[in-house]
A and B are shown apart, each in its own frame.
Chain A
Amino acid sequence: MLEVNGLVKRFGGFTAVNNVSFRVDQGEILGLIGPNGSGKSTIFNMLSGTLAPTSGSILFAGHEIAGLAPHRIINRGIGRTFQIPRPFRRLTIFENVALAGFYGQGRHSRIKAEEAAERSLAMVGLPTDRHASVDGLGAAGLKKLELAKALATSPKLLLADESLGGLDEAEMDQAADMLRNIRDELSITIIWVEHIMGVLMRVVDRVMVLDHGEKISEGLPSAVAGDPRVIEVYLGTDAETTQAAAAEARRRAGG
């Protein structure tokens, strides 16, 4: 479904993504992990059209999409969420999603857009009430809204960017299950970028690990977790301290 070959992105002298190739098959959930600054978001931004690649090709359903404008890529069936939710606060929750349903599906009909909005809101578990304000949503609600917006564009491929940051454990599990449901029920292929390894490993079919803009490992979650290079760059150093700090923070918050 998606085939990426020799993708490179340079910002001046800095190479953010260096010669990365991978493919995503119809119906799978691919996890994309790596330390901060490893190039995950840059890859996402190139897949969604926010950034144009320096070189390399991105084939989606057999067509080259590298360098297309974001709205064109969305209309071809790649939806995305942002790492930090970016709701439109001047619109209601429903309008936020209806907007994506209208423009993300090729501006065909308002009725179709509103149906898509209702479907997507129900799917992520947000109220379909037309007057509810975005201001009433917490962190988890905003992430759901972000997901609903992406779903309303009827994507074939969903790029989910660190959907779980800022959630508690129950919310995290819920969100992970939701991604799996989206794949199972709507048969949407998913690439999921996530910091929190445990949840990700439980849901994804395959994992790809990036470090300093290069792919260092790829395969089944169990195999990747045991890869010494992955342990070195990711689990060995960062993860332990991060997880310890997170556990400490949770203890205090729960206090």
Chain B
Amino acid sequence: MKGQGRLAAWGVGLAVLVALPFVYRDPYHLHILVLILIWSFAYTSWSMMGRFGLVSLGHGGFMGIGAYVTALLWNHLGLSPWIGIPVSMIAAGALALIVGYPCFRFRITGHYFVLVTLALSGIVLQVITATRDYTGGSLGYTPNRASGNKLLALQFDDKTTWYLIALAVWLFGIVVWHWVDRSMARYALEAISEDEDAAAAAGVNVTAEKLKITLLSALMTALAGAIYCQYQMFITPDTVSGIAVSLQMVFAAIVGGLFVSLGPTFGAIITILLAESLRIGFGTKAVGWDNLVYGVLLVVFIIFLPKGILGSVLDRLKPQRKVPRAHEQEAVQIARPGA
């Protein structure tokens, strides 16, 4: 598939996705779809960095900021999420720059970068838990129900509206992914991930390019957190922030496929369906089982299928687009210590 054929496939696929909630209204299934779309967007945001070997375990932090800042501004200051979400994104972006700049300037790469970002996740989680007077701590937090304009409060009761919002946000993520993929910045980032000195010798401002993609990734992840909060109307530190959420992003992106645009989406479908079927099949007896399965699968995938499920399938279908395997092994290997 190339050019027009691919565009047509995307068009038909999208039309089906948009039409879906109008013909199929089962609320439970729509709920699962909304969750898949929101998490797909978060995983796609993570993979924007991850695909270039910038393995961040700090994205739980960005997501938590997106969710909590939006909700806190609404509850305490009555600020509409339409303003709160941009503010939360700016906060996450600022944090990304504060942590990213020294890392990139002083060349903290590979495992050390992973460790720094891991600390970031932990810190955000601790801050949310520790300021329990405002955030509700580990018991969770609920945005106040809007009394007036639902649109202004970004609170909707019907699943169809949320499905369409989630679809739009997800699509936005995919479009940004493709935009980066086609830009010169992708060349620069691929080059940086292989050899920073050689990239600099080609004229690339290594620190600036890494900061830009980190900023973009953090902004998008914060948006995912905010949308998740508005949809669920209930957040806890553990569901939107912390190391577990960060690891979940790494896992889903790697299982789905880091190097293809729909890979993280595929990863979200697998992880959420797995968690749901365990929950339905075994109930409370299986709490935490999904994490066990994730861990085992992650090890298996990194060793045997580093391009992820979708990436490997697409590779089979069109052998001409080859990306040397060794480098991908390297990129995903960095994620190992967390597994």
Chain A residues with CB under 8 Å of chain B are 48-50, 69-71, 74-75, 80, 82, 86-91, 95-96, 98-100, 102-105, 107, 110, 113, 131, 133, 135, 149-150, 153
B322 CB, nearest partner CB in chain A, Å:
7
Of B135-143, B200-208, B307-315, which stretch is located at the interface? B200-208
Contacts of B133 in A (CB 8 A): none
Write the chain B residue with the least CB distance to A149: B202
Contacts of B200 in A (CB 8 A): 49-50, 69-71
Contacts of B202 in A (CB 8 A): 74, 99-100, 103-104, 149, 153
Contacts of B323 in A (CB 8 A): 90
Contacts of B29 in A (CB 8 A): none
**Subset of 19 A-B contacts with CB under 8 Å:** A48-B201, A70-B201, A71-B206, A74-B203, A75-B203, A86-B201, A87-B198, A88-B194, A88-B199, A89-B327, A91-B187, A96-B191, A98-B184, A100-B203, A102-B203, A103-B188, A103-B204, A104-B203, A133-B322
Which residues of chain B in 173-192 are interfacial with respect to chain A, using CB atoms and an 8 Å cutoff? 184, 187-188, 190-191
Interchain CB contact under 8 A, A86 and B195? yes
Contacts of B199 in A (CB 8 A): 88
Interchain CB contact under 8 A, B191 and A80? no
Say if the beta carbon of B193 comes within 8 Å of chain A: yes
Say if the beta carbon of B324 comes within 8 Å of chain A: yes
Chain B residues with CB under 8 Å of chain A are 184, 187-188, 190-191, 193-195, 197-206, 320, 322-324, 327
Interchain CB contact under 8 A, A99 and B327? no
CA distance A82 to B204 in the complex (A): 16
Contacts of A110 in B (CB 8 A): 184
Interchain CB contact under 8 A, A102 and B201? no
Which residue of B197, B199, B201, B204 has the most chain A CB atoms within 10 A of its CB atom?
B201
Contact of B184 (CB < 8 Å), options: A82, A89, A99: A99
Tell whether A98 pairs with B201 under 8 Å between CB atoms, given A89-B194, A90-B194, A90-B324. no
Write the chain A residue with the least CB distance to B190: A90
B173 CB, nearest partner CB in chain A, Å:
23
Contacts of B198 in A (CB 8 A): 82, 86-88
CA distance A22 to B320 in the complex (A): 51
A57 CB, nearest partner CB in chain B, Å:
22
Interchain CB contact under 8 A, B204 and A99? yes
Contact of B205 (CB < 8 Å), options: A48, A69, A113: A69
A130 CB, nearest partner CB in chain B, Å:
12
Contacts of A99 in B (CB 8 A): 184, 187-188, 191, 202, 204
CA distance A43 to B198 in the complex (A): 17
Ordered nearest first, which 10 A-B pairs have the shortest CB separation?
A104-B203, A103-B203, A86-B198, A100-B202, A70-B200, A99-B187, A74-B203, A88-B191, A90-B190, A71-B205
Interchain CB contact under 8 A, B324 and A135? yes
CA distance A217 to B323 in the complex (A): 49
Contacts of A88 in B (CB 8 A): 187, 190-191, 194-195, 198-199
Write the chain B residue with the least CB distance to A153: B203
Interchain CB contact under 8 A, B324 and A102? no
Contact of B197 (CB < 8 Å), options: A50, A131, A149: A50
Write the chain B residue with the least CB distance to A95: B187
CA distance A80 to B204 in the complex (A): 13
CA distance A98 to B193 in the complex (A): 17
Contact of A89 (CB < 8 Å), options: B187, B206, B324: B324
A25 CB, nearest partner CB in chain B, Å:
24
Interchain CB contact under 8 A, B184 and A113? yes
Contacts of A89 in B (CB 8 A): 194, 324, 327
A108 CB, nearest partner CB in chain B, Å:
11
Tell whether A98 pairs with B203 under 8 Å between CB atoms, given A86-B198, A90-B193. no
Contacts of A96 in B (CB 8 A): 191
Interchain CB contact under 8 A, A91 and B190? yes
Which residue of A48, A80, A88, A100 has the most chain B CB atoms within 10 A of its CB atom?
A88
What would 17 more interface pairs be, CB under 8 Å, given A70-B201, A103-B184? A48-B201, A70-B197, A70-B200, A82-B201, A86-B201, A88-B194, A90-B191, A91-B191, A99-B187, A99-B204, A100-B203, A102-B184, A105-B203, A107-B184, A131-B320, A133-B322, A149-B202
